[in-house]
């Protein structure tokens, strides 16, 4: 860390969500840590997004605005923001989510005291459902403070946003714009091939699953198998790694719940969730064999 008060860049892609965007911007401006810049990349919105952002720029010079001339997608927009970042450190925010006020200060503080081999920080998060905020425990909350690339294959502990040096993101190649989904998993897996991730035990990020608009990930279920095939080829995953990655597909419906990966995931990561998936896959297999 070059100074005790480093500049942190927060990057946020957005597309036609002006009514949600204001909440996200307000949450950044409410940070207890003030030395930040917020780069908003407008992915060719057709609503009043630009007017909303310009109104904030009139009162806060820390807010930067980039508008794509055509729709490039969230990952290309994130990469554009990261390349433009002036901060030594970067972290992301989705336009339909928001920060709690201590998020950036907790990241900066923990970075100062982290072990040398740690390359990224991540935090616990809250889910907003209706008017309430809930904390969903990870499958293995007793994992410990540090995670490796192997741990990330077991479960997506980091969530979709991490805190790291801008240069580290450049060095590993940024978000893979060829991926149809799981771009954040792919990027953080590449990070963790080089070092460890460290959890900050503060719930400072809120994922809004209640609003009526479609979240970026929920409309891509049909692309799961193509993404899986791309990743195993890209990373040259072993047979065991492929089984673990298949476990990530369980989130997208019963079609992807299969006995062998369910069994392996339960052996590697015993929990109520993996037992539930194992039993479900066993019932599915028995039903299939009975029909035959």
Return d(Cα 218, Cα 198) in angstroms, integer: 28
What is the model's pTM? 0.86
Q: Which of 151, 154, 168 is nearest to 245 (CA)?
A: 154
- Given a contact cutoff of 8 angstroms between Cβ atoms, the answer to whether 205 and 126 are in contact is yes
The pLDDT tens digits for 243-275 are 888 877 766 666 666 666 666 566 666 767 667
pLDDT at 223: 83
The pLDDT tens digits for 162-196 are 999 999 999 999 999 999 889 999 999 999 999 99
- What are the backbone angles phi and psi of residue 208, rounded to the nearest 5°? -90, 105
Q: How many CB atoms lie within 10 A of CB 113?
A: 8
Contacts of 190 (CB under 8 A, 6+ apart): 172, 173
Return d(Cα 265, Cα 154) in angstroms, integer: 7
Cα–Cα separations (whole angstroms), residue 81 to 62, 92, 122: 14, 10, 20
Task: Check pLDDT > 80 for residue 45.
Answer: yes
Mean per-residue pLDDT, 53-67: 98
Cα 238 from chain centroid (whole Å): 24
User: Binning pLDDT at 50, 70 and 90, where does residue 3 land?
Assistant: confident
Helix (H) or strand (E) holding 126: strand 118-129
Task: Check pLDDT > 70 for residue 214.
Answer: no
């Amino acid at each position: 860390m070059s100074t005790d008060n480093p500049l942190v860049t927060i990057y946020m892609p957005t597309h036609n969500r002006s009514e949600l965007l204001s909440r996200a911007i307000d949450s950044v401006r409410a940070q207890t840590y003030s030395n930040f810049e917020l780069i908003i990349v407008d992915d060719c919105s057709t609503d009043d997004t630009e007017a909303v952002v310009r109104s904030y720029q009139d009162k806060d010079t820390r807010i930067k605005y980039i508008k794509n001339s055509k729709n490039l997608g969230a990952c290309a927009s994130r990469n554009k923001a990261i390349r433009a970042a002036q901060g030594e450190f970067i972290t992301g925010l989705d336009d339909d989510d928001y920060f709690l006020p201590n998020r950036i200060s907790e990241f900066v503080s923990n970075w100062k005291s982290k072990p040398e081999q740690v390359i990224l920080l991540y935090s616990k998060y809250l889910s907003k459902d209706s008017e309430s905020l809930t904390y969903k425990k990870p499958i293995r909350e007793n994992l410990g403070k540090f995670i490796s690339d192997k741990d990330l294959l077991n479960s997506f502990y980091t969530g979709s946003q991490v805190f790291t040096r801008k240069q580290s993101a450049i060095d590993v190649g940024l978000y893979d714009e060829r991926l149809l989904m799981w771009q954040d998993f792919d990027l953080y897996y590449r990070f963790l091939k080089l070092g460890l991730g460290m959890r900050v035990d503060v719930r400072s990020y809120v994922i809004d699953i209640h609003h009526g608009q479609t979240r970026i990930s929920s409309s891509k279920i049909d692309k799961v198998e193509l993404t899986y095939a791309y990743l195993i080829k890209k990373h040259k995953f072993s047979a065991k790694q492929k089984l673990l990655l298949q476990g990530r597909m369980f989130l997208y419906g019963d079609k992807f719940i299969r006995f062998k990966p369910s069994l392996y995931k339960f052996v590697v990561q015993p929990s109520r969730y993996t037992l539930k998936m194992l039993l479900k896959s066993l019932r599915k297999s028995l039903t299939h064999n009975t029909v035959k």
